[in-house]
Structure 1
Amino acid sequence: MTSTIKVHVLHCGQVQVDIAVPFKQKTLNPLAFTGLFRSSKHQIVIPVSAYLIEHPKGLVLVDTGWHTDVRGDQAKYLGKISYRISKAFLPEGQAVHEQLLKMGIKAKDLDYVVISHMDADHASGIKLLNEAKNMMTSDMEWQATVKNKLRYKQHMWEGIEIKPFSMTDSEYGPMRKSFDLFNDESIVFVHTPGHSHGMVSTIVQNNGKFVLLANDTGYSKESWEEMILPGIVVNKKHAFESLKWVKNMSLKSNCIEALANHDPEILPHVIEL
């Protein structure tokens, strides 16, 4: 492919969490990530990202950030337990649909909205984009939303048609499983489990170069440089293997950028391939 692909890095609000959420803590407190029995000095505020990919074959959005409902009663919207763990911030103009409209893009113009995993800060904005042509997540992640109703907030996508995709054997990722969106390897969703069962990272590649959207495999560049796992994992072995894969990919000479979804060092910008 020779046509240009653009990746727009968007910040769709922020989230306040205990530092044990992005960076697993060496502590005797098994609930450190919840902030319980921890002082406010451990609280940090980190960005919530989404990514618009302008591709010759269509507009693809990866993740959605927060819904505007978080500007109201968060304890009700997120649930009292989840609200104690994470608090959302969404200034006017930062919701995903608000940012897209500034770019002249309406929800109906989006060919694909792909959710890396269905945690609230990634999937909350789904209903803001209900006119998108295709709303997708991996079948493994979709199954996890049914099994774990404490973690996943079903009301955020109630009434929306989610089309689960299946990953097949491939050369990509720690599990050697991926989903090639356009069947040309220009946008590949790679199975990187650990933080959640069905989470995917995204490879966008063109003209011999690639960008890696690592999502929550690691919460910042420091995560894979220092091999610090997220505080919330469903499988520690898989989380380590996924993070190691991201580290190896980030070191490749043709990697333009490797981006974590919540890295405070990454500002909104546009990458061209």
Structure 2
Amino acid sequence: MSAIKIHVLHTGLVKVDTGLPFHDLSRNPLAFTGLFRSHIHQITLPVSSYLIEHPNGLVLIDTGWHERVRQSQWQELGLQTQINKAYLPAGWSVREQLARLGYQPSDIDYLVLSHLHSDHASGLPLVKDAQHILVSQPEWQAAQHDKLRYIPKMWQGVNVQTYDFSASKLGPFHQSFDLFGDGSLQFIYVPGHSRGLAATLVQGASGQQVLLASDTGYAQTSIDHLYTPGIVINRAQALQSIAWVQQAASEPQVIETLTNHDPAIRPHTITLA
């Protein structure tokens, strides 16, 4: 198998209360909302997407913010602006990042959404010409009924298909989805932050792996100290998911473990031989 390249992209910034990425550091259970909290508790984090050049096709994971947030955060996010403040510097949108790498949306064979929260799905209309757009079945079902955590207009007019997790030896609940059927690109069921959250395990022919942990935790400190996010649908599942990430990250074949919003992570390219 040829080499796999993973392009770590920043497709936006988000300003949030510290209680949102690190629930365990605040005694206030509603700290993540930022309500009645001073601006000194606000931090700015990157919003990441990942473009994977794989021998079996071009794969994009997550989409960051839509370019509309440059004109109006309220138009894109509505009441969610109380919790997430979106910023998209020039050249950072997923469409612009693809163009910089020499691709257009129709070149994407698979666009896979780790989950459907706004900072991961807002840019979806910019890349709706991808050949296949996938999200897990439990995440899709949750997004149809929960209007607080999801903004359905972000996928209106987009042909989103679902996949099912299957029993496996991977993840905290032994469920995963093997995109190509060869173990090189697997999406692992890590619920808690959202109902159908998926982490991504990429494996090269040499056996080296990269774990894209999505929002199981927001930074390396989340993995190190088992900090769960402020926003969860199930705190016990969120803890089991971040604990699995911690264990998986310690395996010798895992050369990098990346959370989606870690300010210490810079855009770079990883090559798996």
**TM-score if structure 1 supplies the norm length?**
0.98
Deviations 1:79-104 (A, max 9, x none): 1x200111111011100110110111
Change (3 A) 1:141 1:100: same
Specify the alignment match of 2:43 in structure 1: 44
Which ranges in structure 1 are unaligned for 5 or more consecutive residues? none
Other structure's SS at 2:122 match: helix
Determine which of 197, 200, 208 is the counterpart of 1:199: 197
Other structure's SS at 1:164 match: strand
Answer whether contact 1:120 1:153 (CA < 8 A) is retained: yes
Q: Map 1:146-225 onto structure 2 (within 5 A).
A: 146-206=144-204, 207-225=206-224
Other structure's SS at 1:70 match: helix
Distance 1:99 1:194 in 2: 30
- Please state if 1:112 is matched with 2:117: no
Distance 2:130 2:242 in 1: 31
Distance 1:145 1:185 in 2: 28
Shift of 1:107: 0.3
Shift of 1:25: 4.2
Q: Which amino acid aligns with 1:115?
A: L
Answer whether contact 1:195 1:216 (CA < 8 A) is retained: yes
Distance 2:161 2:46 in 1: 27
Distance 1:91 1:264 in 2: 16
**TM-score if structure 2 supplies the norm length?**
0.98
Shift of 1:3: 1.1
Shift of 1:76: 2.4
Specify the alignment match of 1:6 in structure 2: 5
- Please state if 1:127 is matched with 2:125: yes
Give the 4+ runs in structure 1 shifted more than 6 A.
none
- Please state if 1:233 is matched with 2:235: no
Percent of pairs with identical residues: 50
Specify the alignment match of 2:63 in structure 1: 64
Other structure's SS at 2:180 match: coil
Q: Which amino acid aligns with 2:63?
A: T
Answer whether contact 1:186 1:204 (CA < 8 A) is retained: yes
Answer whether contact 1:25 1:32 (CA < 8 A) is retained: no
Distance 1:271 1:27 in 2: 35
Answer whether contact 2:69 2:75 (CA < 8 A) is retained: no
